[in-house]
Amino acid sequence: MWDAQVELLAPTHQVITFDARGHGLSPTPTEPFSHYEDLLELLDHLGVARASLVGLSQGGRTSIDFAIAHPHRVAKIVLAGTGISGMTFRDPFVLSYMKKLSEATDIESVVECFLRMWVDGPQRTPDEVDPAVREPCHAAMSDTITRHGARWLGLLRELGAIDRVAELTARTLVLVGDLDSSDIHTVADLVAGAAPNAHKKVVTGAGHMINLDQPEEFNRVLRRFLAH
């Protein structure tokens, strides 16, 4: 999902992408772990002393946790459609699909619940989402659920950053799609209001998957932010 950004930035930046544990080709967790400490181990292994972080959704949660736990390792942060560790979901649309997700008995039903929450969102039907966005997301989610399942989620340990946003001191850009859920807008407002060096931009015509829904605008803003 980040291939376009790798192509955009590779001529001028060292670009690192990775599958988080429990996703893609990374291993399925079998014991308690944290995504943000996995990121620390990755950067240490690669000899990267300081990095700018770009994260969407769970990747944003990871970036926030990492930046609070290891502020000296972070240059800048771009948070797109970000969650935050310790958040509570309240959007009725999201809650309705979380209930359906808990009752799902087959992979296709599980995947469709995720797509409705985090690709279509509360303001669009599946038919209103570009198939060039929805179909790759369907394929990636199907692959991840087939490989890893979801039981490992109980092993994930996070920082509880919702109570520590003021400690997020790196220069931070918060992007939120105007079609995303109210919960994600609430997080964007929280980070933009409480983190001392953060500002927010709403991306028109985008749901949760901002870099896929509006790639030209996302890339323009991303490149400009990282360059200055």
On whether both 121 and 82 belong to a single domain, the answer is: no
The pLDDT score that the predictor gives to residue 20 is 97
Report the SS3 class of residue 17: coil
Residues 125 and 40 placed together within one structural domain of the fold? no
The structural domain count of the chain equals: 2
79 and 12 part of one domain = yes
With tokens 């079998």, the residue in question is: 30
Same domain, yes or no, for 13 and 107? no
Question: For residues 56 and 82, is the Cβ–Cβ distance under 8 A?
Answer: yes
**Which among 130, 151, 172 is the end of a domain?**
151
What's the start-to-end Cα distance of the chain, in Å? Answer: 25
Looking at the structure, tell me whether residues 211 and 125 fall in a common domain: no
Q: What is the pLDDT of residues 139-174, one digit of tens each?
A: 999 999 999 998 899 999 999 999 999 999 999 999
Collect the ranges in the chain with pLDDT lower than 50.
Answer: none
Same domain (yes/no): 146, 172: no
> Are 173 and 141 members of one domain?
no
Question: What pLDDT, on a 0 to 100 scale, did the predictor assign at position 28?
Answer: 97
**Structure token pair of residue 44:** 């240490």
- 177 & 72 share domain: yes
For residue 221, the model assigns a pLDDT of 98
Single out the residue in 151, 167, 190 at which a domain terminates. 151
Cβ-in-10-Å burial (0-12, 13-18, 19+) of 190 comes to middle
Give the model's pLDDT for residue 74: 98
Q: Which residues, 6+ apart, have CB-to-CB distance to 192 below 8 Å?
A: 174, 198, 199, 200
pLDDT of the residue at 54: 98
10 and 75 fall within a common domain? yes
Tens digits of per-residue pLDDT, 105-128?
A: 999 999 999 999 999 999 999 999
78 and 167 within one domain: yes
For residue 209, give the CATH number of its domain. 3.40.50.1820
Q: How many CA atoms lie within 13 A of 123 on its CB side?
A: 11
Q: Among the three residues 106, 132, 151, which one is the final residue of a domain in this structure?
A: 151
Please tell me whether residue 118 adopts helix, strand or coil conformation. helix
Under 8 Å CB-to-CB from 222, ≥6 apart: which residues? 5, 8, 9, 54, 78
Whether 15 and 115 map to the same domain: the answer is: no
Question: Treating both helix axes as pointing N-terminal to C-terminal, what angle do 58-69 and 35-46 enclose, rounded to 10 degrees?
Answer: 70
Residue 66: the pLDDT is 98
3-state SS class at 89: coil
Whether residues 82 and 99 fall in one domain: no
Looking at residue 122, what is its pLDDT? 98
Structural domain boundaries, residue 117: 92-151
